[in-house]
Chains A and B, each alone.
Chain A
Amino acid sequence: MVLATVSEPSAKEEVPAVAGVACHGLVKDFGSGENRLRALHGIDIDVRCGEMTLLVGPSGCGKTTLISIIAGLLTPTAGSVTLFGTPQSALRGDRLVDFRAQNVGFVFQQYNLLPSLSAVENVSIPLLVVGWRRPAALQRAAAVLREVGLGERLHSSPTKLSGGQQQRVAIARALVHEPRLLVCDEPTAALDAQSGQTVMGLLKQVAVKSDRTVIVVTHDSRVFQFGDRVLEMADGRIVQDSVTPRGSQELVRSENSAS
């Protein structure tokens, strides 16, 4: 299943076609003086496009801080983040917000759907943010909801949907504006095992594209199979970077095609 091509009324900010996310020497401190707490200790990672990277580790190890910085929601104390060739430090204020609106999609653990809007209205929000007109945004949102199997629930309130369905709406909302970076925070944490598998399968199916980087924070070892690469964190550091069998196959294939 491949999402339909988006024809947007407003042109996306030009992003050079280089690989995904690059973080170098990322340090993040919270508090100051004696109360200072170092959450990240010089993280260096490169995340390629076209693969699903899982970020795993115990609670408090810095996963959420790391994805918040990558997504431009937090500013690092030191180090740099480059998204698709654009250094984040070059973007400030509204430029960073606009960049995020156009290039980043979010899937949250608690879905964060607006309960007063229907499923299709929720999905249309990222398009409205980047300047789409409402009728066109709703049309496009409906198409994406059909892609994730919720064509029959377009006008349902999120409160009337199951957890798995709500997360599918959230995935549709994260993908509707075709972002180049998809950040998912514990997308299966609030779901039962079967729904979790379905959601991860769906993510893998509709989100992973050759020009998109997908980072998934998860505790759930049952969904590791869906990742192409697993970065394990502990105490604010990357302690293991492993390529899963699925990931190694992708890597071999991409290296072969490059040569």
Chain B
Amino acid sequence: MIWVAWRMLTGDTAKYLGAVFGVAFGVLLITQQASVFVGIISRTANPLSDVREASIWVCDEYLQNADEIEPMSDNAVYRVRGVEGIEWAVRLYKGMARARKPNGLFRQVILLGIDDQSLVGAPRKILMGDLASLRRPSAVFIDKSGYESLWPGEPLTIGREIEMNDRRAVIVGICETSAPFQSFPVIIACYSQATGFVARERNQLSFVVGAPVPGVSPAEACRRITAQTGLMAMTYREFVWLTIKYYMENTGIPVNFGITIVLGFVVGTAIAGQTFYLFTLENLRHFGALKAMGVNNRRITGMVLLQSLVIGLIGYSLGIGMAVAFFEGTKQSLPQLRGINIPWQIAVGSGLVMIVIMSLTSLLSLRKVLTLEPAVVFRG
């Protein structure tokens, strides 16, 4: 009877495709929105999250997120280095600046200042230029996306000049960075130069980043730093989540995306559920005839579940495929979605949601079929 169930399902191509695409669009909606949400919320710690070599992050004790920074005194780096169990610690600057092109056009940029000697925090993927040239006077790297926003449609070239805080900066390299939350260009310079590109403040040190000696865990090293210096010290993971949590708790992003995801679930359930339920209803007479002919409820249940499983599986695969195609297709044309992809947890989550949707739908349909009196087939 599995074969009969399969043929009943696929026999009417329009209804079959309607049910499959109902599920597929539900999955697409949920997966796409959830992925965009996760992608955007995980950007909040960018581009600092690219500094992966640092397992310890030290900052002002009242820091709430990576965008609102209270600078520390430059000697904080020495205090951290003085803590037992710290292998190395270096300075890291993060701030905002205005980059002006020779023609007067300007853009707000995210400015990162990395340690002059070690270059800890340097970009990992350099598209053009040489990292060592960053140590040259006025030298900066710019991220590819930022370059394209400053010089749209123009080929990538090093040697271009910009001005920040009335100081000349020369682009000596172009790199890839993780897409920042605000879609500003990212400029990377050595710490000593970066602090010169912004208005002078008494304190300018944003972070001290470092790593513990082998045998001391980052968490233990952080505990020691806080105890000894009074500064806030976090592991890399804690630092990234601090910012994510801040944005989750203090902005409308989770609520707005949450609503869209819930709507996706509701719409997905409605489309898939209703289509499949109607499909079952339209076949009720046939199920009645099968029951009259001696197909028992166990077999009928198997038939409905098989139909639901087939629709769910094909619809889910199509939906995930469409979501992947969406992100792949917009990778080049929509830089705003740069770096957003489908985490496996969301793919699994949408699958589970689809199982819930199809289970609910099957139960609803089964209730109708199992309580159906086979004598209904005698009613003209």
A residues with CB within 8 A of B: 64, 67-68, 71, 73-74, 94, 97-98, 100-102, 104, 106, 108-110, 112, 114-117, 121, 125-126, 128-130, 134, 185-186, 189
Tell me whether A106 and B289 are in contact (CB under 8 A).
Answer: yes
Known: A110-B380, A114-B286, A117-B11. A126 touches B373 (CB 8 A): no
Q: Which residues of chain B have C-beta atoms less than 8 A from A130's C-beta?
A: 294
B108 close to chain A: CB less than 8 A: no
CA gap between A114 and B4 in the complex, in Å: 9
Tell me whether B8 and A106 are in contact (CB under 8 A).
Answer: no
Closest to B376 in A: A73
B26 close to chain A: CB less than 8 A: no
B126 close to chain A: CB less than 8 A: no
**Would you give the shortest CB distance from A241 to chain B, in whole angstroms?**
22
Q: Classify chain B: how many residues form its interface, as a range.
A: 20 to 34
The interface centre, meaning the residue of B3, B4, B295 with most chain A CB atoms within 10 A of its CB, is B4
**Would you give the shortest CB distance from A131 to chain B, in whole angstroms?**
11
CA gap between A126 and B286 in the complex, in Å: 13
Tell me whether B380 and A109 are in contact (CB under 8 A).
Answer: yes
Tell me whether B1 and A128 are in contact (CB under 8 A).
Answer: yes
Tell me whether B289 and A129 are in contact (CB under 8 A).
Answer: no
CA gap between A112 and B291 in the complex, in Å: 12
B378 close to chain A: CB less than 8 A: yes
Task: Across the A-B interface, give the 8 residue pairs with the lowest CB-CB distance, nearest first.
Answer: A116-B11, A101-B294, A112-B289, A68-B375, A73-B375, A97-B296, A64-B378, A73-B374
29 A-B residue pairs with CB within 8 Å: A64-B378, A68-B375, A68-B378, A73-B373, A73-B375, A73-B378, A74-B373, A94-B298, A97-B295, A97-B296, A98-B294, A98-B296, A101-B294, A106-B289, A106-B293, A106-B377, A108-B289, A108-B377, A110-B285, A112-B289, A115-B12, A116-B7, A116-B10, A116-B12, A117-B11, A126-B293, A129-B293, A129-B294, A129-B295
Q: Which residues of chain A have C-beta atoms less than 8 A from B1's C-beta?
A: 128-129
Closest to B12 in A: A116
Tell me whether A100 and B292 are in contact (CB under 8 A).
Answer: yes
Contact of B294 among A67, A100, A110 (CB under 8 A): A100
**Would you give the shortest CB distance from B98 to chain A, in whole angstroms?**
67
Q: Which residues of chain B have C-beta atoms less than 8 A from A64's C-beta?
A: 375, 378-379
Contact of B296 among A94, A102, A125 (CB under 8 A): A94
Other A-B pairs beyond A74-B373, A115-B11, A116-B7, 19, CB < 8 Å? A71-B292, A73-B374, A73-B375, A97-B295, A97-B296, A100-B294, A106-B289, A108-B289, A109-B378, A112-B285, A112-B289, A112-B377, A114-B8, A115-B12, A117-B11, A126-B294, A129-B293, A129-B295, A186-B380
B residues with CB within 8 A of A: 1, 3-4, 7-8, 10-12, 285-286, 288-296, 298, 373-375, 377-380
The interface centre, meaning the residue of B1, B11, B294, B296 with most chain A CB atoms within 10 A of its CB, is B294
**Would you give the shortest CB distance from A225 to chain B, in whole angstroms?**
23
**Would you give the shortest CB distance from A123 to chain B, in whole angstroms?**
11
CA gap between A116 and B380 in the complex, in Å: 21
Closest to B10 in A: A116
Tell me whether A125 and B8 are in contact (CB under 8 A).
Answer: no
**Would you give the shortest CB distance from B371 to chain A, in whole angstroms?**
14
Known: A108-B378, A112-B377. A117 touches B7 (CB 8 A): yes
Q: Which residues of chain A have C-beta atoms less than 8 A from B3's C-beta?
A: 128, 134
CA gap between A71 and B10 in the complex, in Å: 31
CA gap between A134 and B4 in the complex, in Å: 11
Q: Which residues of chain A have C-beta atoms less than 8 A from B296's C-beta?
A: 94, 97-98
CA gap between A106 and B377 in the complex, in Å: 10
Closest to B295 in A: A129
Contact of B4 among A68, A73, A100, A125 (CB under 8 A): A125
**Would you give the shortest CB distance from A55 to chain B, in whole angstroms?**
12
**Would you give the shortest CB distance from A76 to chain B, in whole angstroms?**
12
Q: Which residues of chain A have C-beta atoms less than 8 A from B4's C-beta?
A: 114, 117, 125, 128
Q: Which residues of chain A have C-beta atoms less than 8 A from B379's C-beta?
A: 64
Tell me whether A101 and B293 are in contact (CB under 8 A).
Answer: yes
**Would you give the shortest CB distance from A28 to chain B, in whole angstroms?**
11
Q: Which residues of chain B have C-beta atoms less than 8 A from A104's C-beta?
A: 294
Q: Which residues of chain A have C-beta atoms less than 8 A from B380's C-beta?
A: 109-110, 186, 189
CA gap between A104 and B293 in the complex, in Å: 8
**Would you give the shortest CB distance from A233 to chain B, in whole angstroms?**
15
Q: Which residues of chain A have C-beta atoms less than 8 A from B7's C-beta?
A: 114, 116-117, 121
**Would you give the shortest CB distance from A86 to chain B, in whole angstroms?**
15
Tell me whether A125 and B293 are in contact (CB under 8 A).
Answer: yes
Closest to A173 in B: B293
CA gap between A115 and B293 in the complex, in Å: 17
Q: Which residues of chain B have C-beta atoms less than 8 A from A125's C-beta?
A: 4, 290, 293
Closest to A134 in B: B3
Tell me whether A74 and B289 are in contact (CB under 8 A).
Answer: no
Q: Which residues of chain B have C-beta atoms less than 8 A from A114's C-beta?
A: 4, 7-8, 11, 286
Q: Which residues of chain B have C-beta atoms less than 8 A from A71's C-beta?
A: 292
Q: Which residues of chain A have C-beta atoms less than 8 A from B10's C-beta?
A: 116
Q: Which residues of chain B have C-beta atoms less than 8 A from A106's C-beta?
A: 289, 292-293, 377
CA gap between A102 and B294 in the complex, in Å: 8
Closest to A128 in B: B1
Contact of B378 among A97, A126, A134, A185 (CB under 8 A): A185
Q: Which residues of chain A have C-beta atoms less than 8 A from B295's C-beta?
A: 97, 101, 129
CA gap between A186 and B289 in the complex, in Å: 15
